[in-house]
Amino acid sequence: MWLKSHRQDSYGNDKLFFEGRLTDCRQCAIKQLCMKNPAAADSRKGHGRQVSFIIKKHKRPKRYTDWMKARIDSDKGKQIDSHRMSVVEPVFANIASNKGLNRFSLRGKAKVQGQWQLYCLVHNIEKLKNDGNMVH
């Protein structure tokens, strides 16, 4: 999940809005408990999980990075982070270091999206070649 926006309510409390990717919600085992409309995760329409936190003015952390560090260092945070390290991070590491994509060479959202999809396609073909059941 990423921080989508940050606002203050009329009482001076901070309200943080986070949103997750719809593709992450599709395979999630607890989407029935988490999402108002779990069927939205199975189609291309809709958003992933959206949550907000209200941080009371008197409980406000000095820095939000400290607040997030405390959340990540919790038992649940460690579990989520370890799953991320085994699923997502190796893909980005392979594309960045082995394939050499450290910045996009094109400009514009559509062109960057196309370039990213080409790198992902090469990554997936390489996975199939090395680990998959490809016929030779």
Residue 62 DSSP label: S
Number of domains present in the structure of the chain = 2
108 and 75 housed in the same domain = no
Q: CA 104, CA 114: separation in Å to the nearest integer?
A: 10
> Does the structure show a pLDDT above 90 at 108?
yes
Pair 44, 107 in one domain: no
Select the more confidently predicted residue: 45 or 11: 11
Residues 73 and 99 reside in one and the same domain: no
pLDDT at position 110 is 94
pLDDT band at 115 (very low <50, low <70, confident <90, very high): very high
Pairing of strands 2-8, 14-19: antiparallel
Res 134 pLDDT > 60: no
Residues 72, 89: Cα–Cα separation, whole Å: 16
What pLDDT is recorded for position 46? 59
Mean per-residue pLDDT for 57-85?
Answer: 78
Q: Which helix (H) or strand (E) holds 7?
A: strand 2-8
**Distance from C-alpha of 110 to C-alpha of 116, rounded to nearest angstrom:** 10
Residue that finishes a domain, picked among 83, 101, 122: 83
Which residue range is the domain that position 104 belongs to?
90-131
Instruction: Using CB atoms within 10 Å of the CB of residue 25, give its burial: 0 to 12 exposed, 13 to 18 middle, 19+ buried.
Output: buried
C-alpha distances in Å from residue 72, one per residue of 6, 14, 28, 45, 68 = 19, 20, 19, 30, 6
